[in-house]
Structure 1
Amino acid sequence: MITSTDGTALRVHSIGAGPGLVVVHGAMQSGTSQLELARLLADTRTVHLLDRRGRGGSAPATGTAIEVEDLRAVLVATGAHDVLGISSGAIIAARAALAGGEIRRLALFEPPLAIGGSVRLDLLPRFDAALDAGDVPRALAVAMRLAEMGPPWMFRLPTALLAAASRRMLAADDRATMAEGRAHVRELAYALRADFAVVRENADRLEELAAIDVPTLLLDGSATRPYLRAAVVGLARVVPGARHVELAGLTHSATQDRAERGRPELVAPALREFFAV
């Protein structure tokens, strides 16, 4: 456990040997969602997989600023200076690179930066209302539309059908054990509020990230959602010297374990090259 600046305990899973690399996961994930990717890098790196707030029973996050402080606390405690941010975690990582000198190299995978209405932030009140009412299936259904999560055919379905599918998924997950150490879907659904807060707070603020002054790698999959590809292209335009690598045929789940539809073996080579000692 690592203690953040406000006294909150943060769980970090560490694997490997060598210079430190902190991985900041995205929405509907926990730290161990990238365990297979960490293992692929562990022969030359000590990979620290951070469980962001709202996972593992920790206090929920309240926005970008506190999560930036969490990441900075982990960097100081571990002595790491390299960061991989994934999805909403990539926005946090980018903001942390602006906030202090702990980060020396930065890799960002598909940050959901809203540009000119590219993200359906108008759906956020419906998501919040469903979650406040304890209707997690409906909240997940709205989230699928908002973030375009899952296959394209899925988030185009009526909300009622998406909610029914989410209800079955939650029931199956509630019956499962925690034997593999993964977070419950229900817990991750409540943590979505923090992910959407990060997206909302950073909407149409792309130009501010031009102040990032550390070597930066930008990754996206060629088969991902258009708004995510647009965000990466925008970052490549504004971040000085940023290197953009498109991963052929991969989607937004690429960094995750294979059981979560990831292809970590196709992501690891670009990271290995960028973070080479």
Structure 2
Amino acid sequence: MSDSAPPLRGACQAGGVGRDESDVFGCAWSRSRTDRADAQGTPPSATEILRAAGAPLPLPPSRGRSAAASSPVSRVRFYSLTSDKEGSALRAVQFTRGETVLGAEVRDGVGPPLVLLPGVMADAATWRPVVEHIALPNPVLVLDRRGRGASGPLGPGYSVRTEVDDLRHVLGNLGDLGLPGVGTHLFGWSYGGLIALEAAVGRADLRSLTLYEPVARPFAPEALEPLREAVGRNDLDRAVELVNTVVSGFSDGYVAELRRSPVWNVLRSLAEPLADELGAIDGHRPAFDAYAELDVPVTLLLGADNEGRPPYGTAFARFERALPRARVVRIEGEGHLAHASAPRLLAEHITDAVTAH
């Protein structure tokens, strides 16, 4: 992109964040299209930006409920949490696997639970606008993967297998939250889609599996070493620059304007685990041969704008070939970031995938 592209605008308003299909990681600010009717929209306040972008959620033990329903296996802890919109109360919980805390946000309900797993540069808070619009009575749990939110660090030896084992631990301990442990609906986006799919292999207790543009190697390999160097010297500003330029293709001018926005510090925190996450994707060989044997109905969601285009459309095609029985749904007018650009629309597709099974 050139420096003459339209200026940034605040986009983290009630419906989520601004849309640009080339923005890989769903930053809370994005370049407006020249044909957007709302291109001159009023920027939100700093508080709105931070909330919509997924600012880290403090969970002090003095707030909310105690761990009355904890178990010696997962040691689930409960806290009170209320969303910005009336009638959408959430609760924050923490699982413990070994020495690692795994945080999550839960919207209570009845019936089999729906578990959502975000990808990189996102956390549970980033997905609140989607959860708000999921028109299901079912409980909804959004997991904060390692390195974000209330969860612990990635830890030594981090890999896709680490994430898969974390997810399997959570799925195996949903009963500690008073949720049914069988018949779970599982959803994963991007890196979360790869993790969810790998975790589903060999399981017979899932009711449905929905994957929104899962990714696999190779994934932005040219950005990996520069990101490792930047994060290694704790230069998170440089890491955010690399995400937006080398990976996402934005201009230096765009990044300079982004740096002046209140959301920059949020992006810095989300970028901290990015190099290791991309390295994990690059070092993992998906079990493509095993996917066709999955004993669970699968829905594949593709942003129609990405069809046939790298990196997401080309990666999607590989998963589509490996899952010949999957139902394939194209989200018209969207790319990789429907959770940010069209949370209501994405929620409708998730709702449809769940109600179909």
**TM-score, normalisation: structure 1:** 0.80
- Structure with the higher helix share, 1 or 2: 1
SS at match of 1:255: helix
> Aligned residue for 2:196?
93
> Does 2:216 correspond to 1:139?
no
Structure 1 stretches of 4+ with a deviation exceeding 6 A read: none
- Between the aligned partners of 1:30 and 1:211, the Cα distance in structure 2 is 30
Instruction: List alignment gaps of at least 5 residues for structure 2.
Output: 1-92, 175-180
> How far is the alpha carbon of 1:253 from its aligned partner?
1.3
For the pair shown, the structure with the greater C-alpha radius of gyration is: 2
2:299 corresponds to which letter in structure 1? L
Alignment of 1:259-274 (within 5 A): 262-274=341-353
> How far is the alpha carbon of 1:215 from its aligned partner?
1.0
2:208 corresponds to which letter in structure 1? R
- Between the aligned partners of 1:162 and 1:271, the Cα distance in structure 2 is 33
> How far is the alpha carbon of 1:4 from its aligned partner?
4.2
> Aligned residue for 1:185?
267
Q: Supply the RMSD in Å over aligned alpha carbons.
A: 2.5
> Aligned residue for 1:181?
none
Change (3 A) 1:167 1:264: closer
- Between the aligned partners of 2:150 and 2:113, the Cα distance in structure 1 is 26
- Between the aligned partners of 2:153 and 2:119, the Cα distance in structure 1 is 14
> How far is the alpha carbon of 1:45 from its aligned partner?
1.4
Change (3 A) 1:208 1:106: same
Alignment of 1:119-268 (within 5 A): 119-145=219-245, 147-148=247-248, 155-157=249-251, 161=253, 164-165=256-257, 167-169=259-261, 173-174=264-265, 184-202=266-284, 206-224=288-306, 226-256=310-340, 262-268=341-347
**TM-score, normalisation: structure 2:** 0.63
Change (3 A) 1:156 1:29: closer
Identity %: 28
2:118 corresponds to which letter in structure 1? H
- Between the aligned partners of 2:283 and 2:222, the Cα distance in structure 1 is 14
> Aligned residue for 1:108?
211
> How far is the alpha carbon of 1:144 from its aligned partner?
3.0
- Between the aligned partners of 1:103 and 1:197, the Cα distance in structure 2 is 29
Instruction: List alignment gaps of at least 5 residues for structure 1.
Output: 149-154, 175-183, 257-261
1:58 to 125, 145, 151: 151
> How far is the alpha carbon of 1:30 from its aligned partner?
0.7
Number of residue pairs the alignment of both structures matches? 251
